[in-house]
Amino acid sequence: MRNQFVLSEANDIVKVKKAGIKQITIDISKGLDVDKPDSTSTVVTARTSTAKPDKKITSNPDIDHRLQSSKKLVAKASQIAKKILGDVSAGHEVDMEATESTVSQITQMIDKDPHTLVGVSRIKTKDEYTFMHCVSVCALMTAFAQYLGYSKEEIDEISTGALLHDIGKALTPLEILNKPGKLTDEEFVIMKQHAVTRETKLLDNCGLSEKALDVVSMHHERPDGKGYPLGLKGDELTEVGKMSAIVDIYDALTSVRVYKSAWEPSEALKNMLSWCPHQLDTALTQKFIKMLGVYPVGSLVLLKSGLVGIVIEPGEKMLRPVLKIIYNANGRHYVEVKQMDLSKYPKESIKQPISPSSYKIEMAKFI
Ligand SMILES: [Fe+2]
């Protein structure tokens, strides 16, 4: 048998099995994937990891359940964000009923667990970036507002503004919005017009609160006055406005785009700190970093043993999160997916966070 070949009929699978092949990788660019892929379906492997648990470890079904619920909510909310933007670009009003219902589901989930939804919504597919970014910014803003002690009512308002923060993109030409490369100066001028002000007609019938309007109109403003659309500076920016700029940049940096790979969270946060106080508010950026923790959910980390895992739960000890082990960097091969609670593996430790692109790992397939 050759190393790579197309399976064109069911009998081919029988032949593969008879030939004793224990491991296959499905290249879904060549054809259909299996019907209902679960997180492990694109990589079927007979190899197992070499890490030895220090005691018997069982995977925590509660974490898996939360990951799956978050994933479902992100998918559903992204479709609603897509519909809302589609409606507005077709000249209709913002569907506030759909907005409020989505916000309510997101705030409820963040209230129960502030980490999982935030981590899951960061993992995006390139094509749906615009809509998934709305959902991710909504989840992050909700968690940030909760962390800073805002009231439930205020959190609802902030969350609503966050889901609609890029509503102006409904009027941005698609060739600019989805351009697979750097924008020219002229295109960037048009792109910047998506950042609407309080006076824009788009928001006339939305009945948005002041805090929601702060998110929508200030997420591209900067403390030094070099932001847009109005170039507000210093005290002209509200706390919520400054929070929205931090969240918006963090999500954009750590997301995969058509023209760039996703930055690893700690690299993004380090850069963001270096942009303080001109581009971002220093005190709020520090609080944001504290909220996310050392290894935010959704980060990819390399362990001392060479295993690679995705952080799926911060864990009780900040440096020893719960991981989903997916890869062996020494052998450069995938391994049987399994949970590893690092607090129960004292001999194992995190060597460093890594970027998914360094091992060509498609995060969306594993979380
Ligand atoms: Fe924006």
| In the predicted structure, residue 172 carries a pLDDT above the cut 50 | yes
Q: Burial level of 242, CB count in 10 A (0-12/13-18/19+)?
A: buried
d(CA 245, CA 247) in angstroms, rounded, equals: 6
Peptide bond preceding 173 in cis form (omega within 30 of 0) = no
Q: What number is the average pLDDT over the span 105-122?
A: 93
Least-confidence region, from 127-131, 249-253, 307-311: 127-131
Of residues 84 and 34, which shows the higher confidence score?
A: 84
d(CA 311, CA 299) in angstroms, rounded, equals: 5
Residue type at position 256? V
Average pLDDT, the chain: 87
Q: 82 C-alpha to center of ligand 1: Å?
A: 15
**What is the predicted pLDDT for the residue at 323?**
94
Q: 112 C-alpha to center of ligand 1: Å?
A: 28
Six token digits for residue 78: 């992204």
Residue type at position 206? C
Q: pLDDT > 90: what percent of the chain?
A: 60
Six token digits for residue 174: 């698609």
| In the predicted structure, residue 16 carries a pLDDT above the cut 90 | no
Nearest to 222 by CA among 282, 287, 171: 282
| pLDDT band for position 30 (cuts 50, 70, 90) | low
Q: 309 C-alpha to center of ligand 1: Å?
A: 31
Number of neighbours of residue 213 by Cβ within 10 angstroms: 23
Are the C-beta atoms of 294 and 318 separated by less than 8 Å?
yes
Number of neighbours of residue 321 by Cβ within 10 angstroms: 27
pLDDT in tens, 223-258: 999 999 999 999 999 999 999 999 999 999 999 887
Give me the count of residues in the chain. 367
Q: 191 C-alpha to center of ligand 1: Å?
A: 9
Q: Which residues surround ligand 1, an ion (CB under 5 A)?
A: 166
Q: 283 C-alpha to center of ligand 1: Å?
A: 22
pTM higher than the cut 0.85: no
Q: What number is the average pLDDT over the span 128-157?
A: 96
**What is the predicted pLDDT for the residue at 33?**
61
**What is the predicted pLDDT for the residue at 45?**
38
Are the C-beta atoms of 314 and 115 separated by less than 8 Å?
yes
d(CA 47, CA 66) in angstroms, rounded, equals: 27
Give ∠ CA 356-247-226 in degrees, rounded to 5.
115
Number of neighbours of residue 69 by Cβ within 10 angstroms: 16
d(CA 62, CA 161) in angstroms, rounded, equals: 31
pLDDT in tens, 38-64: 444 333 333 444 444 444 445 677 888
Angle between helices 265-274 and 239-253 (to 10 degrees): 130
Q: 187 C-alpha to center of ligand 1: Å?
A: 15
**What is the predicted pLDDT for the residue at 49?**
42
Least-confidence region, from 29-33, 106-110, 132-136: 29-33
Q: What number is the average pLDDT over the span 191-205?
A: 87
Give ∠ CA 195-200-206 in degrees, rounded to 5.
100
| pLDDT band for position 209 (cuts 50, 70, 90) | very high
Nearest to 132 by CA among 155, 100, 106: 106
| pLDDT band for position 90 (cuts 50, 70, 90) | very high
- Those residues whose C-beta lies under 8 Å from the C-beta of residue 134, and which sit 6 or more positions away, are 78, 81, 85, 162, 163, 164, 165, 166
Q: 141 C-alpha to center of ligand 1: Å?
A: 14
- Per-residue DSSP letter, 178: T
**What is the predicted pLDDT for the residue at 55?**
47
**What is the predicted pLDDT for the residue at 48?**
41
d(CA 171, CA 167) in angstroms, rounded, equals: 8
| In the predicted structure, residue 346 carries a pLDDT above the cut 80 | yes
Q: 311 C-alpha to center of ligand 1: Å?
A: 28
Q: What number is the average pLDDT over the span 296-314?
A: 93
